[in-house]
Structure 1
């Protein structure tokens, strides 16, 4: 994989992660309850709509992205506790 295609792949994955986070925020604002277990099955690495090895030109877009907000108000504690229990790490030595 060339540096250019790796950069493009990472940019697409990051963009997908931003879109997923924005949709989750919108659902939370609408009053939906978000189950961390469901989020564990979502991946920003989607390939059906991307030609990873194709040629892309982005300079003519001229779009300035908004600042990224890394805060996602979802409590992942139950998943962490579940992982610790499954690994047997929740017990005192």
Structure 2
């Protein structure tokens, strides 16, 4: 959703600049506009680091334990489940 919003904002910026150039007397060829993409990525760090410090959000402490009950697996007969047999 964020990407769509950025693309839409870029499209509006491109259109505004094109109108300003036309009003200033520039001639704009539609073929030139066809080479401009609103999907500009040089100012976007999509997979970067984002700070939440300014928002006052602190991450929870990391807990490496898995809350998974493996009891049913331990009670099952490995041979009946197909484990331990050659393929």
Could you say which TM-score interval applies, normalised by the shorter chain?
0.5 to 0.7
Give 1:34-73 correspondences, 5 Å limit. 34-54=28-48, 55=50
Q: Which has the larger radius of gyration?
A: 2
- Does residue 1:14 correspond to 2:18, yes or no? no
Q: Show structure 1 runs of 4+ deviating over 3 A.
A: 53-57
Mapped partners of 1:26, 1:56: distance in 2: 36
Structure 2, unpaired ranges of 5+:
56-87
Structure 1, unpaired ranges of 5+:
1-6, 61-93
**Higher-RCO chain (CA-CA 8 Å, sequence separation at least 6):** 1
More helix by percentage: 1
SS state of the match for residue 13, structure 1?
A: helix
TM-score normalised over the length of structure 2: 0.53
